[in-house]
Amino acid sequence: MINESYYEDEEAILLSEKSIIPFYFSQLPLFLASHHHVKFFREKYDFDLFDDIIDHSYDDEPNNFKRMQMILNEVKRLNENKQEIIDFCINNKDRFERNKNLINKIVIDFKDSQYIKKIINE
């Protein structure tokens, strides 16, 4: 589970190193974060959030306390199904690799845009 810096502020959804770690290291993403954090990553960056094994319905809950309860329930459910999770990870390596490639592209695009901004400002 990823614990983002912003939890209560819906306007504070951002691409932080905390949120990209599971994608880069082939982990299942479960976010303790602001409302619609998962939606943002799905829509803006097209990450595979493995909805076929993770219930991200917590992301639609605007109430911070209820959202946290839903996340904790999902952690419990996943923990109770360890073998299913292991099998899923083994059988879906290509999906994890696709997410890692997206991270690499985002990093390259960011570096390129920073370089272009530097040239423009000189």
Token pair belonging to 51: 């909805």
For residues 42-55, give the mean pLDDT.
94
For residues 92-119, give the mean pLDDT.
78
Task: Please give the share of the chain, as a percent, with pLDDT higher than 70.
Answer: 76
Rounded Cα gap, residues 71 and 85, in angstroms: 17
Rounded Cα gap, residues 57 and 13, in angstroms: 17
For residues 29-37, give the mean pLDDT.
89
Residue 22 · residue 2 · CB < 8 Å: yes
Rounded Cα gap, residues 58 and 2, in angstroms: 14
Q: Could you report the per-residue pLDDT of 53-95, keeping only the tens digit for each? A: 999 999 999 998 999 999 999 999 999 999 999 999 999 999 9
Rounded Cα gap, residues 27 and 50, in angstroms: 10
Paired with 2 in beta bridges are 31
